[in-house]
Chains A and B, each alone.
Chain A
Amino acid sequence: MMSKRIRPVSAQRQKEAYFFILPAFIYILLVMGYPMIYNAVLSLKNMDVKNLKSGTSVFIGLQNYAELFGNETFQLVLKNTFVFTITCLIFQFTIGFAFALFFKQRFPLSGVIRGMILISYMMPISVTGLLGKNIFMNDGLVNDLLRRIGITGPEWLTNTTFSLPAVIAMNCWVGIPFNMLLLISGLSSIENEVYESAMIDGASWGQRFTFITLPLMKSSILAVLMLGFIYTFRAFDLMYIMTKGGPLNSTDVLGTYSYMLSFTQFKFSKGSAATMVLFFCLFVVGMFYLHLLRKEDK
């Protein structure tokens, strides 16, 4: 009897819940769903500068993808994207975590220094790009500092080996404060009593970090890594301003390359295919994150 009385109420509430999420669902469908489907369809056609006006583009299946993956430049771009993302993630996360642990301590001027570190994160990325261009030029700040300690610095932005590390360094400069900020809020949620009890039990700093901080920070760490991966993987503006993806595509990533295909060379379908590859990579990472969250919930 009891369950019979509850069920209709629950169904009603469920309807209400659906009703409340309907506007957001329609918004997402229109603003994100439609362009994504349009892009996916476009990637299966041969639309370019020659046939857009006449409307004679046709479906060519996965030919754009096959051509992209067989193209040396695209292989380099894909490699650059993963190298850039993973390297940035490692440096941003480890240094950001170290800063978060450091600034969690209370000491004079800690708030001021923390605020100063955040300046690089608050700066528009176009300014960061221009700064990077000047810092890493052959006679720039970095090489000048190296020269003062007797080291001849490399040609950062004009050498295919060093251009990507230079862009990675600038991205880390922006990413470290972002990681620090998120990790500090995670650290603040751990009660001091937990550490105090562990200290009374004789736990060393390393033990407290390994057995208290890391496990209790698991969800924060996952979120930081996940967000970091997404933001870094779809990077565009920093490369576009610092190097325009050059020299010789050495700093080209999926974002800049698909933009170049679509908006410079007007190879719309091929550009869409490159964007779909970017989307697919992020989709896999997103699914993996959801899987981990579900596992943790269980």
Chain B
Amino acid sequence: MKKILTLMLVLAVCVSAFAFACAEPVEVELWHYFDSSNDKDMINKWVDDYNALQDKIHITSTYVSRQELMNQYAIGAISGELPDIGMVDSPDMASFISLGVFADITDQLNAWGELDNFYPGPLSSCKDADGHLYGLPQNTNCLALGCNMDLLKAAGYDHMPKDLEEFKEMVAKTSDPANGIYGMAMCCIGTEEGTFQLLPWLRSVVDGKSVNVDDLTAPSAVKGLTVLGDFIHNNYMSKEAVNWTQADAWYAFCAGKAAMVECGTWHLAMTNDINGAFNYDFCLLPTGEEGTSTSTIGGENFGICTGCVDTDACVEFLKWMCSKEKEAEWAVGAGKIPVRGDSKAEYTYETKGFQVFVDEMNYAQARGPHAEWPTISEAVYTACQSVFVDNADPAEALTKAMTVISPIVAENPLP
């Protein structure tokens, strides 16, 4: 009898321990590189909210700097040490899909039935060449022109530039190098950030035509680069731009050192930096003929990494995070544009500015997606820097870039 009782007790302990273990949510790691306080606070709050909403998974969000996160993905592609859910810059996603960092979640997302609501550009950055999906775009942004209206007025303009020719004229007239004021500020650094800002000028619309990076020897691309090169050589744009990040260019504008700046949607959440020092406004990037514009799509995607402990449960989190309501909430809180057409972000600040960026999205193009985009990107910024720094001929510089790009796109064309 004593033996039976002991056995039953042991059995009861085991069953309760098993039941307890079953009830415990699975621990899931999410890595992100949101470094501004708005973004970081929001992702942490959302993760807490989602943990409270369900009990299948418990997500721990960890901030890893962008470059370090990319390194970890590259190392993880070989070692297999990856988080369960990972954030990635949209142009880099194709490379990491190709490296096997992200898992194919096409079936789960198709079953969701909401993919048609996503804008095709951002969504395409989550696909491989065969159209399989490896994640979801979480936010998107693009580039437009920020203008110091006081400096424009002082130069005799009461409006913002409408086309490239007028823009060139305005940049020249607002420049005052003797007092450290330049007509234009932008980022031309030798990284992906530089390519992001340079591409709209290379893709400008001239004679009704615009080209992609697989045809950079076209006259429109050469003209765009020539304009930027002339800005630097004529002292209308600081040569420091070749080392400037987008933040550096923005701060130069905020400090009144530049009449116009190529800026991103996220800068709308940073207009406090201007501190009321001058009147400002935003307009479409005047890269080509009147009535046209070109811009680059930016933004971040989230994917489920290979080897995730519970792919289905993590996909549920992605679906929740990229739902209609959450997309609108994120866009307002972080100063971004929703990636879904059915999300209506009701911005409570810079409403006019946001409308400009939403309009600009109609002209914005994605980078790639292409597994070898980093090599294409390097060829683009190197060609541009050789014009800015070494006075190279724009046509020759872009021809040299095409010697790198052409074999890549010949083997695997751009979409």
Question: CB within 8 Å of B: which residues of A?
Answer: 49-50, 52-53, 133, 137-139, 155, 157-160, 243-248, 262-268
What per-residue 1/0 map shows which CB atoms of B354-376 lie under 8 Å from chain A?
A: 00000000000000000110110
Q: How far is the CA of A244 from the CA of B244 in the complex (A)?
A: 11
In the complex, B170 has a CB within 8 A of chain A:
no
Total interface residues in chain B, CB < 8 Å: 29
Question: CB within 8 Å of A: which residues of B?
Answer: 70-71, 74, 77-78, 95, 98-100, 180, 189-191, 238-240, 242-243, 371-372, 374-375, 378, 382, 385-386, 388-390
- Specify the main secondary structure of chain B where it touches its partner: helix
Contact B389 A138, beta carbon cutoff 8 Å: no
A265: chain B residues within 8 A (beta carbon): 372, 374-375, 378
In the complex where A52-B78, A266-B99 touch, is A243 in contact with B180 (Cβ < 8 A)?
Answer: no
Contact B374 A247, beta carbon cutoff 8 Å: no
B388: chain A residues within 8 A (beta carbon): 247
Can you give 18 A-B contacts (C-beta < 8 A)? Answer: A50-B371, A53-B77, A53-B98, A53-B100, A138-B239, A155-B239, A158-B239, A160-B389, A160-B390, A246-B190, A246-B242, A247-B242, A247-B243, A247-B388, A248-B389, A248-B390, A262-B74, A267-B375
Q: How far is the CA of A296 from the CA of B170 in the complex (A)?
A: 71
In the complex where A262-B74, A263-B74 touch, is A158 in contact with B374 (Cβ < 8 A)?
Answer: no
- Specify the main secondary structure of chain A where it touches its partner: loop
Q: How far is the CA of A246 from the CA of B386 in the complex (A)?
A: 11
Q: Which of A157, A243, A244, A266 contacts B74 (CB 8 A)?
A: A266
In the complex, given contacts A50-B371, A52-B99, A265-B375, what are 9 additional A-B residue pairs having Cβ atoms less than 8 angstroms apart?
A: A49-B95, A52-B77, A52-B98, A158-B389, A244-B189, A263-B70, A264-B70, A266-B74, A268-B78
In the complex where A53-B98, A138-B240, A157-B243 touch, is A264 in contact with B389 (Cβ < 8 A)?
Answer: no
CB distance from B376 to the nearest CB of A (A): 10
B389: chain A residues within 8 A (beta carbon): 158-160, 247-248
CB distance from A275 to the nearest CB of B (A): 14
B382: chain A residues within 8 A (beta carbon): 248
Q: Which of A53, A155, A159, A246 contacts B99 (CB 8 A)?
A: A53
CB distance from A43 to the nearest CB of B (A): 14
B190: chain A residues within 8 A (beta carbon): 244-248
3 closest cross-chain pairs (CB), A and B: A53-B100, A246-B190, A158-B239
CB distance from B251 to the nearest CB of A (A): 13
In the complex where A138-B239, A266-B95 touch, is A248 in contact with B100 (Cβ < 8 A)?
Answer: no
Q: How far is the CA of A229 from the CA of B53 in the complex (A)?
A: 58
Contact A50 B98, beta carbon cutoff 8 Å: yes
Q: How far is the CA of A244 from the CA of B382 in the complex (A)?
A: 13
Contact B371 A158, beta carbon cutoff 8 Å: no
